[in-house]
Amino acid sequence: MEFTILDSIPDLTNFKSFTDRYFSKRYILNVDRIKNNDIMLMFHSNRITLLSLAPSHFFFKKNDNYKINFVIGKIDRLSNSVKGKGKKGGQLLTAKSVICKIEYNDGESFDVPSCMKGTLIEVNEELVKHPKLLKEMPDSNGFIAIILSSIAISEATKSELLSHEDYLKIMTNESSNNEK
Amino acid sequence: MNQKTIFKFCKDLGCCDRCCLRYLGVKIPNAYENSNEYVARFQDEPTSNIKSQEDIQSNENTTSGKDNVIVTDAVTKSDNTCSASVHTDNDSDKDIEGIQDNATGDVDSDNIHNDNMEYKNGILPPTKRRKLHHCVSCLGILQEDTWPDTNLMLKEMLHKKSYECPTFACALSAPIATLLRERAVTLLVREAYPEYDPNTLTPLKEAWKWSYGAQAAAHVGRSLHSGAVSPLLVTVNMEYPHEMQELEILKALSPSLFESRSQQRKRFAVEFTRRAAEQALAGAAAAALRAAGWPAPPEPAAHARCAAVHAAHAPLHLAGRYIKLSRELPQTPWILNGVRMMESSVQEIIFAPIAAAYGLTPEECEHRLKFMSAGREDVDVRCLGDGRPFAVEVTDPRRELTEAELKRVCEDISAGGKVVVREMMYVTREELAELKKGEETKCKTYEALCIKLSHSEHEHDKSPTEPVTVTEQDIANINSYSNTSEPGVRVQLVQRTPIRVLHRRPLLARTRHILQLSAAAVPGQPALLALRVRTSAGTYVKEWVHGELARTAPALQAALRARVDILALDVARVHLDWPRRAHPAPR
Ligand SMILES: [Zn+2]
């Protein structure tokens, strides 16, 4: 019996991206009652969560140049560090904690909140050098931060939030309303 | 101070012959095995042709019986009487202890199991019915009259567990009261002979191995070795009925120690640990013992008895290499939040026939079998080629499985079609250490099926809507790619701990190496390519292929110059020659 990797060619019509394979997407719309301030959380089954912007976020409609600033008041999110299996020393986050600011050249800016209680594991440093990633690949290399919370919080948040299917429905309705 | 004096002194205190030798510091195993012969040199006249009666007379002034139960000549009857009497119902002992029988072979055997209390204060007929004398130091543990009971239990235990091991080692768990009594005797000797070195004392457990152990060997039909040599260890637990009340004296010796202890632990039974007793006795003086009511160790009203025998065989290690053919099979049972995620595992498939061969129930399996391997692959990764080295530790095995049985085990493992094991063998602890060490040093070769997701950088002319295809140029780019001049290394990369294991492992960025890398197009699949990759230990290949959100860098994308993802992964070879076969298996 000889086995080779060529035994294992899957059905490519069902191909899923890395994040779609391992994460389940959830959405929060109009955060802080700001229209289209829409956040996307991607939950891994192991209670690790990625924070990013939802495709419906107003950010994607504006074409000005921008920078991503991880210094929030006295806290520098880039200097976050965690030690050991227990991830000790990571910055503690509430749902309101600001992870970064998107700062446009025209002086306008907006905050990206954590939307979830937990420990900050890492922020995406690539965004400092390549801010474009956030616009081009918000659900993969353009993610903003990795957050770890307890199983309980992770599960509770996941079940409270808008599922990917419901999000898509709302988006289709909105776009058809806009067309009218 | 000469040895004869010390010998007599200890004898007068009520010590048995073997204990007298211990206090003299004799460390010759044979002296304890044949103590009757050996002790002659410490006695004033050669004992070989002396009647025990004389022995008794020489001991008439002993302190041992003074305020205790018996003050008759029988008190000081020597050990040989005891052993001789035992033989009446156990002829097999005759050969070993026959030497001792000469003088006192006529003793009534009934006495051994009689309760001594009824022969108080001289009621005992002096010649016919002698009361057994229990050694004031070892509580009878070194005296042959306590041995038949122990032999019986030992035999029973070994029979029950049916070990095939031809050798055994033995260990003694002695009553703590023997420590107290040893200290009492030592202090008295020291008081009488200040130049006596108490450190010379031969430990009870050693003297017991040399005497009881040597005798037990013939009984159980196995040869006695040290625990370092024999894998089969038998522990004999001797209990002394008056242990607890006797140890009360420790409280008098060191009230503070036990006051604090009894506050910690309410239960009387666990109050006197061996350690606590040693602590309490370390500083005790003869005067303190005397003040506590122990001018000399009193003759025990009953001897220590064998309460339990425990037998355990050192673990055996079965070794082999497993081939994993399923992409839906974890290496070990995968249980998430108490819920089983996959119905089986490599471990369970390998355990089942081993458990059957050893006759283990599923519950026993959990405690008695332990799975070890040189790393692991993900649930959805196959492990092909020669497979991955693994070992199964069998706790307290009764025997080694035969060649034929091992062959059967392999066949049973492989019959299910998910796991194949071609050969299994027993390995030593040293070899096992190589398996564990190999986990950190071994290289692995993988085969990966990848999908190209975007046009390559050099394909400017292609429109975004055109299908993505793997070109000869792409294959050439990968096959010529290197980012380091380090000898033997094609790619040097830095990997952050992958998100999929980040919840249970520290977040670190580690430098890893790809040692060999080659790509090939996949016939009939224009977007796919097959990679063969040899990596250093600890490289996460899936993450290197897709880059894991740029958390591994550089990723395969840097070589292909296009976005790429992984569809399937196989371990093609684990570069660790283990277990090494004595004769290479035909392939
Ligand atoms: Zn003794």
Three-state secondary structure along B530-542? Answer: EEEEEECCCCCHH
Cα B138 to averaged position of ligand 1 atoms, centre (Å): 4
| Mean pLDDT, rounded, for B263-274 | 62
Token output for B17: 């012959």
| Mean pLDDT, rounded, for B492-498 | 98
Indicate which of A6, A17, A129, A139 best probes the interface with B, i.e. most B CBs within 10 Å of its own CB: A6
Taken in order of first residue, the domains within chain B and their CATH numbers are 3-128 (no CATH), 144-312 (no CATH), 315-441 (3.30.70.2510), 443-574 (3.30.70.3190)
| Closest alpha carbon to B560 in B569, B541, B551, B547 | B547
Q: How distant is the Cα of A85 from the closest Cα of chain B, in angstroms?
A: 4
**Nearest residue in A to B449, CA atom:** A5
A69 touches chain B (CB under 8 A): no
Q: Is the pLDDT of residue B281 over 60?
A: yes
> Which among A10, A15, A141 has the least Cβ separation from residue B568?
A10
User: Could you report the per-residue pLDDT of B294-316, keeping only the tens digit for each?
Assistant: 989 999 999 999 999 999 999 99
Q: What secondary structure letter does DSSP report for B559?
A: H
Res B56: pLDDT: 41
Indicate which of B334, B529, B549 best probes the interface with A, i.e. most A CBs within 10 Å of its own CB: B549
Q: How distant is the Cα of B542 from the closest Cα of chain A, in angstroms?
A: 10
Please indicate whether residue B341 or residue A122 has the higher confidence score (pLDDT). A122
A144 interaction partners in chain B (CB closer than 8 Å): none
User: Could you report the per-residue pLDDT of B150-194, keeping only the tens digit for each?
Assistant: 999 999 999 999 999 999 999 999 999 999 999 999 999 999 999
User: Could you report the per-residue pLDDT of B190-212, keeping only the tens digit for each?
Assistant: 999 999 999 999 999 999 999 99
Residues bordering ligand 1, an ion, CB closer than 5 Å: B 16, 19, 135, 137-138, 142
A88 interaction partners in chain B (CB closer than 8 Å): none
User: Could you report the per-residue pLDDT of A139-178, keeping only the tens digit for each?
Assistant: 999 999 999 999 999 999 999 999 999 999 999 998 887 7
Asked if A49 contacts A149 with a C-beta cutoff of 8 angstroms, the reply is yes
Q: Is the pLDDT of residue B587 over 80?
A: no
Cα–Cα distances in Å, from A82 out to A43, B508, B553?
20, 9, 21
Alpha carbon B33 to chain centroid, angstroms: 28
| Closest alpha carbon to B373 in B313, B340, B416, B324 | B324
A130 touches chain B (CB under 8 A): no
ipTM at complex level: 0.95
Token output for B555: 């990723």
Cα separation, B297 vs B62, whole angstroms: 11
Q: Is the pLDDT of residue B37 over 80?
A: yes
Taken in order of first residue, the domains within chain A and their CATH numbers are 17-179 (2.40.50.100)
